[in-house]
């Protein structure tokens, strides 16, 4: 993992491969933030931190070392949360940024008493803007100094140490030491304030922008840590392994108000879950819950579970919300095939993938879908270094697949009690043959309406 500072403050590492479709399938990002994992977990203090948090989610790590390092940073932030600076707000950052774009008369570099008062009188509006802006610059610089003191020690994770070392270096410029003497501009002599403002505007611009970028990373981690605490998420154990592993108890979907928890176990002996169950039984929610938890784990975040341990994955790919493309004249089935084709091309590269497939081949007739599904499954189960969860209504193909030892058959049960349909949302071993479409159609009165047309 490398850190490049002073050129955009970019953090790069070994990243998990994940596409926008998968991020949308797992509800990590949505058009409406409140219906997304990002929107729910965003506890950052500023817009810059929010933007960086989103970038972090767009680039989950694929190696255990990077994931664990972020976990350690978030744990440290939680330990230090009560000492967090209150000097930096959205307003502070906005004023600092706009100061460099403001059209004002040149600020004198070493004003004497006369020239200082001359600037104040003859450039009164500019002087007022400068004094207001510098007060926020002081707050920002002091806040960064407080964060450095709060978080720094020799034992902190290397990534955080690099960022804080750069913060310390940028704050070491002699003119910046004015923050140790003055708390606000009203305490500064006019000449001293203008001299400091000249330095900040004309000689410190690049450094200030770098500090703003460094703060964004720190604020993103703060927001991530706060959400872990707020939603009682747990940090998963990340295993260094060339083989797929996902083990979790009490796993649930983060966006559900009253979720039913699951247990899941995927390993090299059983790396393929064949999931059945009736409509509304919970198959899609389960797949999304597992995918979201694995995704969050690779961001260094806590996960919604009692406990979880997993290997790191090189990629995460979903086949959940396939749509047709009317503009291109592409059918639903055609796009299903293209998504499966992309999946096959990815898993054959030798890397470790988690593949999530919800209801294969809904865009064709039942017999065709059964043949296509069986062909796809019998091909994918040859890939032993990846993990697969596949749901289907086509329970009939399950018996033919029992010959393959690495498939685990699981289902969600449904019951009809007193003519009422009930779902336990509990995962059980086996294959479900439940088909409730006609029952629901009749229960909702559609059959009766049709009969009386």
Section 226-243 average pLDDT: 96
- 6 pLDDT band, cuts 50/70/90, is very low
Most confident of 109-113, 139-143, 317-321, 408-412: 139-143
Q: How many CA atoms does the CB half-sphere of 324 hold within 13 Å?
A: 11
**Does 255 lie in the same domain as 213?**
no
Contact 336, 361 (CB under 8 A): yes
Residue 242 lies in a domain: yes
- 49 pLDDT band, cuts 50/70/90, is very high
Distance CA 87, CA 98 (A): 18
Section 176-195 average pLDDT: 91
**Does 168 lie in the same domain as 307?**
no
Q: Which of 230, 258, 289 is the C-terminal boundary of a domain?
A: 230
Give the closest residue to 217 by CA, choosing from 166, 254, 172, 176: 166
Q: What are 280's two structure tokens?
A: 């509304």
Section 366-394 average pLDDT: 91
- 8 pLDDT band, cuts 50/70/90, is very low
Q: 258: domain range?
A: 237-451
Q: Is the pLDDT of residue 421 over 80?
A: no
Q: Is the pLDDT of residue 141 over 70?
A: yes
pLDDT at 186 (0 to 100): 87
What is the pairing mode between strands 272-277 and 407-417? parallel
pLDDT at 211 (0 to 100): 98
CATH number of the domain bearing residue 122: 1.10.1420.10
Stretch among 38-42, 165-169, 259-263, 447-451 having the lowest mean pLDDT = 447-451
The overall pTM is greater than 0.95: no
- 322 pLDDT band, cuts 50/70/90, is low
Q: Which of 230, 258, 284 is the C-terminal boundary of a domain?
A: 230
Number of folded domains that form the chain: 2
Section 220-249 average pLDDT: 97
* pLDDT > 70 fraction of the chain, expressed in percent and rounded: 93
Contact 222, 75 (CB under 8 A): no
- Helices 158-171 and 205-230: crossing angle in degrees, nearest 10, is 140
**Does 298 lie in the same domain as 268?**
yes
**Does 99 lie in the same domain as 198?**
yes
Residue 4 lies in a domain: no
**Does 139 lie in the same domain as 70?**
yes
**Does 246 lie in the same domain as 209?**
no
């Amino acid at each position: 993992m490398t850190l490049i500072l002073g050129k955009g403050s970019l953090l790069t590492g070994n990243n998990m491969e994940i596409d926008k479709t998968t991020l949308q399938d797992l509800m990590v990002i949505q058009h409406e933030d409140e219906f997304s994992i990002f929107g729910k977990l965003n506890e950052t203090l500023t817009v810059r931190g929010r933007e960086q948090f989103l970038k972090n989610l767009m680039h989950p790590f694929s190696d255990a070392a990077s994931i664990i390092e972020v976990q350690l940073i978030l744990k440290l932030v939680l330990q230090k949360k009560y000492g967090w600076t209150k000097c930096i707000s959205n307003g502070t950052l906005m004023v600092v940024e706009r100061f460099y774009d403001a059209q004002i008369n040149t600020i004198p570099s070493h004003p004497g008493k006369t020239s200082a008062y001359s600037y104040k009188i003859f450039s009164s509006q500019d002087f007022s803007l400068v004094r207001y802006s510098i007060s926020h610059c002081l707050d920002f610089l002091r806040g960064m100094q407080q964060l450095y003191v709060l978080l720094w020690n020799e034992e902190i994770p290397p990534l955080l140490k690099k960022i804080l070392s750069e913060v310390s270096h940028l704050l070491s410029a002699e003119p910046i030491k004015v923050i140790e003497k003055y708390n606000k501009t009203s305490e500064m002599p006019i000449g001293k304030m203008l001299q400091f403002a000249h330095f900040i505007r004309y000689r410190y611009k690049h450094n200030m922008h770098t500090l703003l970028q460094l703060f964004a990373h720190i604020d993103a981690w703060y927001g991530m840590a706060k959400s872990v605490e707020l939603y009682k998420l747990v940090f998963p154990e990340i295993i260094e392994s060339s083989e797929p592993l996902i083990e979790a108890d009490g796993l649930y979907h983060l966006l559900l108000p009253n979720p039913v928890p699951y247990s899941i176990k995927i390993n090299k002996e059983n790396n393929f879950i064949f999931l059945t169950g009736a409509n509304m039984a919970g198959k899609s929610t389960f797949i999304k819950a597992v995918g979201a938890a694995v995704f969050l784990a690779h961001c260094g975040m806590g996960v919604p579970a009692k406990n979880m341990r997993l290997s790191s994955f090189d990629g995460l790919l979903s086949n959940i919300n396939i749509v047709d493309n009317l503009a291109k004249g592409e059918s639903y089935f055609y796009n299903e095939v293209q998504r499966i084709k992309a999946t096959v091309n990815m898993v054959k590269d030798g890397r470790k993938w988690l593949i999530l497939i919800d209801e294969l081949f809904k865009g064709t007739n039942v017999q065709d879908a059964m043949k296509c599904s069986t062909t796809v499954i019998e091909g994918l189960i040859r890939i032993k270094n990846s993990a697969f969860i596949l749901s289907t209504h086509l329970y009939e193909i399950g018996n033919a697949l029992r010959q393959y030892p690495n498939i685990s058959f699981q289902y969600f049960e449904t019951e009809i009690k007193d003519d009422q349909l009930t779902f336990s949302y509990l995962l059980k071993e086996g294959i479900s043959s439940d088909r409730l479409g006609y029952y629901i159609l009749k229960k909702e009165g559609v059959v009766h309406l049709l009969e009386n047309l």
